[in-house]
Amino acid sequence: MGAFSPLSMKSLLPLSLLATVGGSGSQDVLLKLAGVDYLILGIYFAFVLAIGWVLRKYLKTSKDFFESGRSLPAWVCALGFIGANLGAQEVVGMAASGAKYGIATSHFYWVGAIPAMVFVGVFMMPFYYGSKARSVPEYLKMRFDEKTRTFNALSFAVMTVFSSGISMFALAKLLNAIIGWNFDGCIIVSSLIVLIYIYSGGLTSAIYNEVLQFFLIVLGFLPLVLLGLKDIGGWDGLMTNLGGYSASKGMPGAWSSSWAHLGHPADNPLGIEWFGLVAGLGFVMSFGYWCTDFLVIQRAMAAKDMNAARRTPLIAAIPKMMFPALVILPGMLAIALFYKGGHSSIPLPVSANGTPDYNMVVPTMLAKYLPHGMLGIGLTALMASFMSGMAGNVTAFNTVWTYDLYQRWFNHSASDAHLIKVGRVTTIVGLLISACCAYAATKFNNIMDMLQLVFGFVNAPLFATFLLGMFWRRTNGHGAFYGLLTGTLCAAIFQGNTIAAGETPGLLKGGWLSIQHTFASSMAQTWWMAIFAFTGCFTATLVISLATRPNHTDDELRGLVYSLTEKIRDEGTPWYARPATLGVIVLAGAVVLNVIFW
Amino acid sequence: MQLDVRIPMGLLFLLLGIILVVYGLTSDPAIYTQHSLGQNVNLVWGSIFAVFGAVMLLLSRRKSG
């Protein structure tokens, strides 16, 4: 699989699910389910559908369908925010990374998520929520111009259906491999369920199911971690075995420290040095995702008031900070148990060259530690996370399509009832296209990789546009649009001139123009590409904005730009409900965690 | 006025908890030595699920009542 997996949070994932899940697929199935497991699965799906059914009667306007009527409390939005992000690619992928990279995987959380989540809550949400924009592309329209909006809306719409297709594909392939379920059946059933609950309940239905899925994953995976820890002899046992494993890989101590081995790319399994990590992952990619991706922002925009919207990402940051214990630790445990061998060893599938199949970490742990009953819960949690990944993408897609493309270009004066209808039809069409993507992924893996690569180029520079747009009033429409194009071009040129060690030059892996630099890993190549794309976009936006006329008056930019917007006063709210206070607490927590696991 | 998400959540976890507890009490103890280091995880986590579900239901009632 390509070095670029730029689909939403997957952009931060070092591994792609498409890669190895399932292997040959012809061996005995890993998980055999009993009646009680099926009962649990059935009850869950009945609830999912029932929620959609009940929410139907609260759905009256298009605002209800696409924006949950802007009526939800902060904690519900926060769990939806984090639940939409906690897709299966996250659960399966992060456990895989935990096995492949050890504690350093925590950088995807404590560096690659928390600071950006605090930033979007404290500084950016006032403009998203306050502007009354119904989507992120619509904000771009208000702040810049139509072409910037349409560019963003188009690339986002294509990316979300594609992303939902990848979720669908990964779900079907995984279930086929570990339980032996029929691939087509999995695609049909999962898309039908998602379709029914979004069709009837809209965004609220998606968010409620994300909340349910959040608790299901937390409560369903915790026993896995506790049993694994007990099996290996507690934290000390884990560290001892990880130490042995690191030494056997020629990087002593690398699996049990997050920062200590980041001096040089050759010293750690990530293949990156600290600067590339902090600037590439921690700044450009992380802020680009958390602060601009409508998939997550949409959850915060559904909040009932400004304070709730701002607190959404901040409250979400608290569980996000703890997730390494839930999703990375199983991977670390698996690799340590694998190394320890003997009675505790887990039967991780191994490929011909001796590397374990990291994507099988979660299924293998489920099979080893969970008896029937809890196994049903674990499997339900896994399926729920795949489906909410699909649902998250589909709700973001139908909103952007309906408001930013359909209403703008095809039917400017559509009635409210008509918009709901369009949203519903879009949900069906979106899922159909997703299903086509899922089948395309089985046949034309290279096309999928190519698409991911292109999205990577388009996404990498995005944050520069938003940063300048929100905090420098002189930024104008031409600057934003041509800046984005320049950034995308920089990304492509960078990729064309670099390669990761061990890869053959080509369109997918890079180096198709020349090879100016060889990175230790393709992840390092992606992160540095992001740094270049951001810098290119930032500079071009700046220069072009200064060289051309502003296309909005200061009055028009009120509420859209920092210096022209009245500061929000928090004096009346208790300290724990103030975004700034919460932000400081969350950041301090992230610092402490980084120091503890240094 | 929306549906309070704690109601379906409470009902779901309470129901799943009860199923797990019943299954934990009636299933063959051998599956626990085989999988979960001899611990009856169904009984233990089933109880946690049920309590969590009940608390959610209580919270939703307290708000509306």
Q: How far is B56 from chain A (nearest CA, A)?
A: 12
Nearest to B2 among A39, A71, A223 (CB): A71
Q: Do B45 and A223 touch (CB under 8 A)?
A: yes
- H helices of A102-182, in order, are 107-110, 114-119, 125-130, 136-143, 146-178
Contacts of B15 in chain A (CB under 8 A): 43
Q: Which of A72-81, A271-280, A476-485 has the lowest mean pLDDT?
A: A271-280
Whether the Cβ atoms of residue A346 and residue A11 lie closer than 8 Å to each other: no
Whether the Cβ atoms of residue B50 and residue B24 lie closer than 8 Å to each other: no
How confident is the model at residue B1, as a pLDDT?
A: 55
Percent of chain A topping pLDDT 70: 94
* Torsion sign across C-alpha atoms A346, A351, A355, A359: negative
Task: Dump pLDDT digits (tens) for A222-257.
Answer: 998 999 898 888 888 888 888 888 888 777 777 877
**What does the angle CA A442 – CA A155 – CA A391 come to, to the nearest 5 degrees?**
60
Nearest to A227 among B34, B37, B49 (CB): B37
Say whether pLDDT at A26 is over 80: no
Q: How far is A220 from chain B (nearest CA, A)?
A: 9
pLDDT band at A513 (very low <50, low <70, confident <90, very high): confident
Task: Dump pLDDT digits (tens) for A423-432.
Answer: 999 999 999 9
Selected for mutation to probe chain A from B12, B31, B40 (highest A CB count within 10 Å) is: B12
Distance CA A335, CA A241 (A): 9
pTM for the full model? 0.88
**What does the angle CA B1 – CA B3 – CA B6 come to, to the nearest 5 degrees?**
130
Backbone angles phi, psi at B61, to 5 degrees: -70, -40
Q: Which of A384, A388, A390 is nearest to A427 (CA)?
A: A390
pLDDT band at A344 (very low <50, low <70, confident <90, very high): low
Size of interface A-B (CB pairs under 8 A): 90
**If you measure CA to CA, which chain A residue comes closest to B39?**
A227
DSSP-derived secondary structure letter, A566: P
The complex's ipTM? 0.93
How confident is the model at residue A8, as a pLDDT?
A: 34
Say whether pLDDT at B64 is over 80: no
Q: Do B42 and A374 touch (CB under 8 A)?
A: yes
How confident is the model at residue B12, as a pLDDT?
A: 95
How confident is the model at residue B18, as a pLDDT?
A: 94
How confident is the model at residue A119, as a pLDDT?
A: 94
- Chain A stretch 58-87, residues whose beta carbon is closer than 8 A to a beta carbon of chain B: 58, 68-69, 71-72, 76
How confident is the model at residue B35, as a pLDDT?
A: 82
Axis-axis angle for helices A88-101, A146-178 (nearest 10):
70
* Chain B CB within 8 Å of residue A208 CB: yes
C-alpha distances out from residue A99 to A284, A503, A508, Å: 25, 22, 26
Contacts of A36 in chain B (CB under 8 A): 19, 23
Q: Which of A57-66, A478-487, B45-54 has the lowest mean pLDDT?
A: A57-66
Q: Which of A547, A548, A567, A569 is nearest to A559 (CA)?
A: A567
C-alpha dihedral (A214, A119, A146, A406), degrees to nearest 10: 10
Contacts of B23 in chain A (CB under 8 A): 36, 372-373
Residue with more model confidence, A161 or A522: A161
Distance CA A377, CA B45 (A): 10
* Chain A CB within 8 Å of residue B22 CB: no
How confident is the model at residue A33, as a pLDDT?
A: 83
C-alpha distances out from residue A210 to A93, A138, A195, A275, A386, Å: 19, 25, 15, 35, 11
Instruction: CATH number for A27-443: choose from 3.40.50.1820, 3.40.140.10, 3.90.79.10, 1.20.1730.10.
Output: 1.20.1730.10
Q: Do A373 and B46 touch (CB under 8 A)?
A: yes
* Chain B CB within 8 Å of residue A223 CB: yes
* Chain A CB within 8 Å of residue B21 CB: no
Q: Which of A481, A458, A479, A497 is nearest to A549 (CA)?
A: A479
C-alpha distances out from residue A37 to A109, A181, A184, A226, Å: 32, 14, 21, 21
Sequence-ordered list of residues with C-beta below 8 angstroms from that of A236, at least 6 positions apart, any chain = none
Residue with more model confidence, A1 or A339: A339
How does DSSP assign A482-501, residue by residue? HHHHHHHHHHHHHHHHEEET
* Chain A CB within 8 Å of residue B36 CB: yes
Distance CA A536, CA A500 (A): 22
The domain spans of chain B are 6-64
- Chain A stretch 313-332, residues whose beta carbon is closer than 8 A to a beta carbon of chain B: none
